Amino acid sequence: MRTVIECVPNVSEGADRAAVEAIAASVRSAPGVRLLDVSSDPSHNRSVLTFVGDGDGIRAGVAALFDAALPRIDLTRQRGEHPRVGAVDVVPIIPIRGATLAECVALSREVGAAIADRHGVPVYLYEDSASAEHRRNLADIRRGEFEGLAAKMEDPRWKPDFGPERPHATAGAVVVGARAPLIAYNINLGTADVSIADRIAKSIRHIGGGFRYVKAMGVELSDRKLAQVSINMTNFKKTPLHRVFECVRSEAARYGVPIVGSEIVGLTPADALFAAAEHYLRIEKFSPDQVLETRLLEEE
Amino acid sequence: MRTVIECVPNVSEGADRAAVEAIAASVRSAPGVRLLDVSSDPSHNRSVLTFVGDGDGIRAGVAALFDAALPRIDLTRQRGEHPRVGAVDVVPIIPIRGATLAECVALSREVGAAIADRHGVPVYLYEDSASAEHRRNLADIRRGEFEGLAAKMEDPRWKPDFGPERPHATAGAVVVGARAPLIAYNINLGTADVSIADRIAKSIRHIGGGFRYVKAMGVELSDRKLAQVSINMTNFKKTPLHRVFECVRSEAARYGVPIVGSEIVGLTPADALFAAAEHYLRIEKFSPDQVLETRLLEEE
């Protein structure tokens, strides 16, 4: 597989295992798709599927997802802790290997248009695919949820990018867009004082003057008596893990606090770890093609 | 591909491109085999093929290699700078993922027995597969080369592990065995004084009291006016890159010399780089399964 694009759709069903399995089976059987993971949260009543493919695979996988999800999820009756605006709530499309973010933006527009045509569901483009700045953030698009959607759509600022200008009766709307891979990366400090983690989080995050592609907050790990800087790395190519790690190390040292460990939550692209090895080992002219497993993926 | 075993046979033909391509084509067409690389050196008159597969793939690939190589290479006439004892000179079998070194030792014995049966070529087991300590090193088995083989085989210490107790008339013998992946890793020092690189090489290599799985020597990079510690890492799981890098850094600092860069020559398993990232980023409970591309390989 020379081109690897990841798609991580969130669907508004996490309690009915038969329904989730039917949706997963539909995606799994789509041509050119590899379904890597399905995680369901019953109290959120939400499931996250992870699948990969090239452009054709992503198109086929999303179509198969909608085919199976729409008859099984009725938002007029669905309840859960997690906010949602659609039966298929959000469809992020993420370049991993052999595809650029710009190519995934173009793909997301094709996928959005196809959803509107084939399923009659209104589509909002978000993140790097957003057609206007106020529609870039998922939370802003989702505000008001399914129940408030019909009223919201009357505002010209919330006209959908594709499809009907009213909600689908049972499926609401869907938010589709391209974004860079996100890495959930937490750094654990050798202190129980969460205020130190808070101050460090504020210093490294974009909103506070820190790194452009970092979101962070301080968290207390009470069972381990540690404080944690909990980080979302929203573009590891432009803001790499090692740079954030070294900045946290330096800030923590100012309080006399060491870093005792870090965690990657969920999946990471291999390139994020190769970049850290390349940095610390000072490797010259490194190419992912020097990695045996990369060759294996490319030889497929 | 859940199990990835690498096989890196060296054949004694590197000048006749048609012959090399015929041998490569035979390997490429074997079931369950992926041929990743072919490198030929005309003055050495030698080619190195790199292919991967599971156990069945390796068995099929080695059989296909012999089928194509034996009719094309005649050691009674072959000349080249590189020492050789066989038309197919050496067949290293290397665990990459989902297989242990012990499993590759067992596989190498099966492969060796099959070569003897099918092709009538005597087989010596070496490295981790060796049947005696004096037969562990390739150089010791190869000493005397093809021309001295008939006399050498009269010594009971050099009775082959499988096959006839005399050389194959045109193909000599073959050396087969399992070993851990080898990484060629060079560290460049901010000095032109090669004696410093020499002293550091002596301090880190096994023979001089250094790391068990390190071979090293000092090399002059005259075009860059740098000295280099040139390293073969013979087991990166037990002696990891970062530990050797930090030791070289510390030794170099004793001479007031910085590390200006490093190089990985050829291919490396991904795990060697993941281990460096894990070390420097202090990642807790890291698993290669957290890497998206690893999942992709496993899902095949």
Residues B144 and B230 in one domain: no
Question: For residue B123, is pLDDT > 70?
Answer: yes
pLDDT for residue A239: 97
In whole angstroms, give the CA distance from residue A195 to residue B237.
39
In whole angstroms, give the CA distance from residue B128 to residue B116.
20
What mean pLDDT comes out for the span B142-155? 97
pLDDT for residue B299: 64
How many CB pairs (< 8 A) connect A and B?
A: 146
In whole angstroms, give the CA distance from residue B152 to residue B155.
6
Residue A245 lies in a domain: yes
Are the Cβ atoms of A292 and B267 closer than 8 angstroms?
A: yes
The average confidence (pLDDT) of chain B is 95
What mean pLDDT comes out for the span B11-20? 96
Are the Cβ atoms of B262 and A283 closer than 8 angstroms?
A: yes
Looking at residue B233, which CATH number applies to its domain? Answer: 3.30.70.670
Per-residue pLDDT band for B118 (boundaries 50, 70, 90) equals: very high
* Residue B97 with chain A: CB contacts under 8 Å: 293
Q: Which residue of A has its CA nearest to B243?
A: A281
Domain ends where: B151, B178, B205?
B178
Are the Cβ atoms of B261 and A269 closer than 8 angstroms?
A: no
Residue B300 lies in a domain: no
Q: Which residue has the tokens 């890497």?
A: B291
- Among the partner residues B4, B264, B273, nearest to A296 by beta-carbon distance: B4
Residues A159 and A194 in one domain: no
pLDDT for residue B81: 87
Provide the percentage of residues in chain B whose pLDDT is more than 90: 91
Contact A97, A297 (CB under 8 A): yes
- Among the partner residues A97, A242, A293, nearest to B281 by beta-carbon distance: A242
Give the global pTM. 0.85
Q: Which domain holds residue A100?
A: 4-178
Helix (H), strand (E) at residue B295: helix B292-299
- Among the partner residues B4, B281, B293, nearest to A276 by beta-carbon distance: B281
The predicted-structure confidence for B208-240, as pLDDT tens digits, reads as follows 999 999 999 999 988 899 999 999 999 999 999
Residue B142 lies in a domain: yes
Distances (CA, A) of A259 to A154, A188, A189, A243, B262: 51, 6, 5, 14, 27
The predicted-structure confidence for A275-287, as pLDDT tens digits, reads as follows 999 999 999 999 9
* Residue B230 with chain A: CB contacts under 8 Å: none
Residues A168 and A37 in one domain: yes
Residue B144 lies in a domain: yes
Residue A100 lies in a domain: yes
Residue B140 lies in a domain: yes
Residues A18 and A154 in one domain: yes
pLDDT for residue B297: 80
3 state SS of A41:
strand
Domain ends where: A178, A205, A223?
A178
The predicted-structure confidence for B50-90, as pLDDT tens digits, reads as follows 999 999 999 999 999 999 999 999 999 999 989 999 999 99
Residues B244 and B224 in one domain: yes
Are the Cβ atoms of B283 and A295 closer than 8 angstroms?
A: no
Residue A300 lies in a domain: no
Residues B158 and B231 in one domain: no
In whole angstroms, give the CA distance from residue A34 to residue A112.
21
Are the Cβ atoms of A280 and B280 closer than 8 angstroms?
A: yes
Domain ends where: B160, B178, B196?
B178
Distance (Å) from the alpha carbon of A221 to chain B's nearest alpha carbon: 14
Residues B29 and B172 in one domain: yes
The predicted-structure confidence for A145-171, as pLDDT tens digits, reads as follows 999 999 999 999 999 999 999 999 999
Are the Cβ atoms of A291 and B273 closer than 8 angstroms?
A: yes
Residue A285 lies in a domain: yes
Per-residue pLDDT band for B270 (boundaries 50, 70, 90) equals: very high
In whole angstroms, give the CA distance from residue A269 to residue B264.
21
Are the Cβ atoms of B36 and A260 closer than 8 angstroms?
A: no
Write the single-letter amino acid at A185: Y
* Residue A242 with chain B: CB contacts under 8 Å: 280-281
Residues B172 and B190 in one domain: no
Distance (Å) from the alpha carbon of A73 to chain B's nearest alpha carbon: 29
- Among the partner residues B96, B282, B293, nearest to A261 by beta-carbon distance: B282
**Residue among B82, B206, B242, B279 flagged as catalytic:** B82
Are the Cβ atoms of A293 and B294 closer than 8 angstroms?
A: yes
Distance (Å) from the alpha carbon of B274 to chain A's nearest alpha carbon: 6
Residues B153 and B285 in one domain: no
pLDDT for residue B1: 60
Per the structure, how many domains does chain B have?
Answer: 2
Positions of chain A with pLDDT lower than 70, given as ranges:
1, 299-300
Residues B15 and B150 in one domain: yes
Looking at residue B148, which CATH number applies to its domain? Answer: 3.30.990.10
In whole angstroms, give the CA distance from residue A146 to residue A126.
17
Residues B200 and B85 in one domain: no
Residues B33 and B68 in one domain: yes
Q: Which residue of A has its CA nearest to B36?
A: A295
The radius of gyration of chain B's CA atoms, rounded to the nearest angstrom, is 21
